Amino acid sequence: MSEEDALMQPNTSGTDNLRGSNAQRTPDELDQYLSQLNKILTRKSSGKSIMKEEVLAQLNSSIYGINLASSSILGYDHEYANWKMRDGPEAPGILEMLMQIENLVQFVENLNEKESISDLIRVLGSDRPASLGAIQPIQAWRLLWYSLYFNHSVPWGTQVIKTQVQSLFNFPPPPHEQSFQPFELTLKKLLEVDLEISPTSDIREHLQLEGNRVKILKLDAVCAITLGGYNRNRIAKALGIESLGEEILSSLNVLYGRDRLCAQAEMLGLGGDWVMNTFVHRETFLANHSALPRVLMSRVYRLEQAILRRRSWLPSLLRDVRKSKREQPLVFWGWILALFFGTFSILQTIASYWSIILAYRALNAP
């Protein structure tokens, strides 16, 4: 068995072949670690799966259902590699991860709205070998985020699990934020009011507004395919956010897919090789173009309100002034000087007028 195959096989020893990047290693172990890391990155960049086919089939069975094969599982394959590269021995081995995912699915499908992370820890640890130690809260949360295709660095807390997940999106939104209109946000609208576009690889952050910055998902072919099958994710269904994938794709279609702004999106760092992925994106967009905001409803409302505020006369004036100063500095400062001398001339004229009036009154005084 090759070194690469050994890395991707289920781990039955309780230890990981790939340890954290800060772990103490001998020179030979360091060479092996870097070699494994390089092979993972090479397979990812070439679009190949990291896990072996039988492992992917079992993971697909747990997340999407036994008789429902799906190419959407490739996104989870790459996310597991990211998890291993970042957390090393703190991330579960493949065999342990498969067992935990199955326990997680059974747990969330029987939620009664009150279970917390401690309940999930108890379920995950029920058949865990004692040699591996107790499962920590952060490990349970990261397994949940992984099953939802979220980045593993998502903040975690002590709320009821369903409440914690839905609060990430402020879902369901308060009545005044509820709207059932289709997505209408475009790159043009966002850029016209000087909102900064910040690419993100975390689907949880899509359309998140932070100050003047809007986070937009950087879409690639694997992510597009995974989001296209998100409505079949059993964990997302149990938590009520299964429409998130099609909502993201629909919003991206409106943002730049429908308006032929792919080149502008690429300049902003929102897309990779659009020439290579045009067909994948087009097919994915067409299949999800009509989804309405539901999970993302609150974020869409807040962005639309921010655009309305920035289109009022004072913010528009200040924005035009900043744009003129940035793009045409000579014209801008020439205009400032003209305004200064014009104002000075007006004040001088007024002063001369009043001096004449006062002098005339002095001459005609009794």
Higher model confidence: residue 295 or residue 288? 295
Element (H, E) at 200: strand 196-200
Which of 138-152, 157-171, 309-323 shows the lowest mean pLDDT across its residues? 309-323
pLDDT, mean of residues 249-271: 74
Cβ atoms of 212 and 322 closer than 8 Å: no
pTM for this predicted structure: 0.76
Q: Is the dihedral of CA 68, 74, 76, 80 positive or negative?
A: positive
The residues pairing with 198 across neighbouring beta strands, listed in sequence order, are: 215
What is the reported pLDDT for 107? 93
Q: In which residue are the tokens 């760092």 written?
A: 269
Q: Is residue 60 part of a domain?
A: yes
CA distances from 41 to 1, 22, 81, 304 (A): 20, 18, 9, 39
Higher model confidence: residue 140 or residue 24? 140
Cβ atoms of 169 and 175 closer than 8 Å: no
Give the range of the structural domain holding residue 347, as residue numbers without chain letter. 328-363
Task: Respond yes or no on whether the N-terminal peptide bond of residue 172 is cis (omega within 30° of 0).
Answer: yes
Q: Do 115 and 239 have their domain in common?
A: no
Does residue 48 surpass a pLDDT of 70? Answer: no
Q: In which residue are the tokens 């299964």 written?
A: 242
Element (H, E) at 71: none
Instruction: Return the axis-axis angle of helices 137-147 and 74-87, rounded to nearest 10°.
Output: 150
Does residue 44 surpass a pLDDT of 90? Answer: no
What is the reported pLDDT for 10? 38
Q: Do 218 and 93 have their domain in common?
A: no
Q: Do 209 and 102 have their domain in common?
A: no
User: Which residue type sits at 96?
Assistant: E
pLDDT, mean of residues 230-258: 89
Q: Do 340 and 281 have their domain in common?
A: no
Does residue 43 surpass a pLDDT of 90? Answer: no
Q: Do 242 and 279 have their domain in common?
A: yes
Q: Do 161 and 179 have their domain in common?
A: no
> Biggest alpha carbon distance in the chain?
119
Q: Is residue 275 part of a domain?
A: yes
Q: Is residue 199 part of a domain?
A: yes
User: Which residue type sits at 329?
Assistant: P
Q: Is residue 319 part of a domain?
A: no
Digit-coded pLDDT (tens) for 193-231 = 889 999 998 999 999 999 999 999 988 878 888 898 899
Q: Do 59 and 139 have their domain in common?
A: yes
Q: Do 265 and 195 have their domain in common?
A: yes
Give the phi and the psi of residue 216 in degrees, each rounded to 5: -125, 135
Cβ atoms of 227 and 70 closer than 8 Å: no
Q: Is residue 55 part of a domain?
A: yes
Q: Is residue 321 part of a domain?
A: no
Q: In which residue are the tokens 């340890």 written?
A: 19
Higher model confidence: residue 364 or residue 9? 364
Q: Using the CB atoms, write b or e for 333-345: b if 16+ within 10 Å.
A: eeeeeeeeeeeee
Report the number of distinct structural domains present in the chain: 3
* Nearest residue to 145 (alpha-carbon basis) of 200, 108, 113: 108
Query: Which of 138, 167, 196 is the endpoint of a domain?
Result: 167
80 vs 11: CA distance, rounded Å: 14
Q: Is residue 323 part of a domain?
A: no
SS3 content of the chain, % helix, strand, coil (to 5): 60, 5, 35
Cβ atoms of 188 and 260 closer than 8 Å: no
Q: Do 187 and 299 have their domain in common?
A: yes
Close Cβ partners of 202 (under 8 Å, ≥ 6 residues apart): 150, 151, 153, 154, 217
Q: In which residue are the tokens 């896990």 written?
A: 51
Q: Do 138 and 51 have their domain in common?
A: yes
Q: Supply 245's token pair.
A: 């994938």
Q: In which residue are the tokens 């903040």 written?
A: 155
Q: In which residue are the tokens 């989870």 written?
A: 76
Does residue 359 surpass a pLDDT of 80? Answer: no
Q: Supply 345's token pair.
A: 């001339």
Q: Do 156 and 183 have their domain in common?
A: no
Does residue 96 surpass a pLDDT of 50? Answer: yes
pLDDT, mean of residues 70-81: 84
Q: Do 211 and 307 have their domain in common?
A: yes
Q: Is residue 291 part of a domain?
A: yes
